[in-house]
Structure 1
Amino acid sequence: MLYFGGLFGVITIAVWIFCLVDIITTPEGDCRNLPKMGWLVVVLLLPLVGGVLWLIAGRPEGTRAYRPGAYERKTPGFPEYDRPGRFAAPDPAADEEFLRRCRERAEEQRRKARGEG
């Protein structure tokens, strides 16, 4: 079993590794109070004190361990709606005609699927 000294050492190493990885993955312009390389040197030379200083004074504000969508590619929601020349009815009569043709086509596809030919 780990005694207080051993547990303290494990916690120190865990904080040190977490802070090093956090500094390395933080974008250059987001670090507060020191440049990124300055924080890296402080945490490398003073493991516990540097790590606590990074967490308090250097880490970007509003940083959470998990940010939904942070690592996902940004894609447009419905690119077909942004397509030039997309059908948009200029008047209600043209819209009704378009909807009527859609219904006829859907009914024809249903008949073909049932085998009514």
Structure 2
Amino acid sequence: MGRILIILAVVMLTIYCVVEVAQSQPSRIRVMPKWLWAFVVICVPVIGPVTWLLAGRPENTPRRHALGPDDDEDFLRGLR
């Protein structure tokens, strides 16, 4: 039972990383090209996905949050 859980965890991690590599923009991926990351994640069972998560994944960039009407000062000024 333990072996099945370990194998299932490795397969799920690999699938997660393959999908993440496929959805990433090539210009934001670090260290290696996208096709090489996909190859490493698929062909090197545990080390490939872990390496992708630590070294290849695009860095988080702060996103601009849309302001709601009640947070937009220009909108509120226009109501008066």
* TM-score > 0.5 by shorter chain: yes
Structure 1: distance between partners of 2:64 and 2:9: 28
1:23 and 2:21 correspond: yes
Out of 22, 28, 31, the residue aligned to residue 33 of structure 1 is: 31
Partner of 1:88: none
Bigger Rg over Cα = 1
Distance 1:47 1:68, change over 3 A: farther
Larger relative contact order (C-alpha < 8 A, sep ≥ 6)? 2
Unpaired segments of 5 or more residues in structure 1?
A: 70-76, 78-117
Structure 2: distance between partners of 1:40 and 1:68: 30
Out of 7, 10, 17, the residue aligned to residue 12 of structure 1 is: 10
Calculate the aligned-residue CA RMSD, in Å: 2.1
Deviation readout 1:42-75 (Å, 9 max, x if unpaired): 0111122100000000001117xxx898xxxxxx
Unpaired segments of 5 or more residues in structure 2?
A: 70-80
Deviation readout 1:79-112 (Å, 9 max, x if unpaired): xxxxxxxxxxxxxxxxxxxxxxxxxxxxxxxxxx
* Percent identity over paired residues: 34
Structure 2: distance between partners of 1:54 and 1:30: 13
- Any idea what SS the aligned residue of 2:46 has? helix
Structure 1: distance between partners of 2:32 and 2:6: 28
1:13 Cα offset (Å): 0.4
Give structure 1 regions of 4+ aligned residues with deviation exceeding 2 angstroms. none
